[in-house]
Amino acid sequence: MQAIVQERYGRPSRVLSIREVDPPTIGDDGVLVRVVASSLNAMDWHLVMGRPIAARATTGLARPKQAIPGTDLAGIVEAVGPAVTELAVGDHVFGGHDGAFAELVAGRARNFVSKPASLDFAAAAALPIAGVTALQAVRDHGQLVAGESVLILGAGGGVGSYAVQVAVADGGRVTAVTGPATLDLVAGLGAERVANRVEQDPLAGTERFDLVIDAGGFASNGQLTRLLTPRGRAVIVGAGSATSAGLIVHLLGARVRTRLGSRPIKNFIARLTREHLSALAALVEAGHLTPAIGVAVRLDEVPAQLDLLVDGRARGKTVVEISPA
């Protein structure tokens, strides 16, 4: 099968290549999925580049343990182990598992749920990581209550575009902030206001919000705190351009501020669960959530597209069309 392969850390276009590799196998509780489409996430380029360096303690010190990058996918079940009862051959599924930039992925039933019938495979592949991250940011960590004011920084990216839609669906009064290149994309997501960060920088303003979601992690803890109402809270998604030392300082600073009685700032790493994937599917079927897809590319274009993510030049979600449906 064809797959994107990585042998060392570095800029995606320099360390990734498309190759022919052996297909994966499954055990008694395994599921083999033919990947129709995948999508790119900020997490992908962080892992490819080995940043922050502290993360290499788990991903591999000298070289990545996982040779095939990618996590998001939507596809068709090709085979199931004898212990699997939740899924059957021929099922259309979406979810996440390591090695998604390939024609076949072997995972477990808990990694996948039924694809929403209203979405094609490309749109469904754009959901898992970014969608679950946004859902957990708004609901689990942000604990949004209907009627509250919400500021979403980085609304033009994958997580940000979903966070806007989830917050709107849950009754938030949303102000979405993005750059000039994605203003039109964000304008269609349902926010009460859409701000061009170049012309209307909320970090320099006086308006306060009940919930601030920093989709990208580029604002400082102090900047986020100044944006909050007395009962406000902030949720940080991602590490921005932080070094390992900078990320640690950022996380410790947020924790200290919270413990000292300052407005809470939370930073988290999303957990992909069947419960959250099913919740995303329900939002889609109810008409509350639509993937904001920027571009669809071939598998061999993944390295160059990940470079765009590194440089902050991606628009919405980038999907990868891998196999025919």
pLDDT tens-digit series, residues 168-226 = 999 999 999 999 999 999 999 999 999 999 998 888 889 999 999 999 887 888 999 99
Residue 123 pLDDT: 97
Q: What is the pLDDT of residue 140?
A: 97
Q: Average pLDDT, stretch 279-283?
A: 97
Q: What residue type is 27 in one-letter code?
A: G
Measured CA to CA, the distance from residue 316 to residue 292 in angstroms comes to 5
Contact 111, 272 (CB under 8 A): yes
Can you tell me the mean pLDDT for 106-111? 95
- Look at 19-33, 148-162, 303-317 and tell me which has the smallest mean pLDDT: 303-317
The pLDDT of residue 37 is above 50 = yes
CB atoms near residue 27 (< 10 Å): 11
Contacts of 124 (CB under 8 A, 6+ apart): 37, 74, 94, 115, 116, 291
Under 8 Å between Cβ of 7 and 63: yes
Report d(CA 123, CA 119) in Å as an integer.
6
**Fold entry, domain 130-268:** Rossmann fold (3.40.50)
CATH H-level superfamily of 2-127+291-321: Medium-chain alcohol dehydrogenases, catalytic domain (3.90.180.10)
Question: If you write DSSP's letter for every residue of 50-116 in order, what string do you get?
Answer: T-SGGGHHHH-SSS-S-SS---EEEEEEEEE-TT--S--TT-EEEEE-S--SBSEEEEEGGGEEEPP
Asked if the model's pLDDT at residue 86 lies above 70, the reply is yes
Q: Mean pLDDT throughout 146-165? A: 96
The reported pTM is 0.89
| Size (the chain), residues | 325
Compute the average pLDDT of residues 297-314: 93
What's the pLDDT band for 239 if we cut at 50, 70, 90?
low
Three state DSSP letters for 22-34: CCCCCCCCEEEEE
Instruction: Name the residue ranges covered by the structural domains of the chain.
Output: 2-127+291-321, 130-268
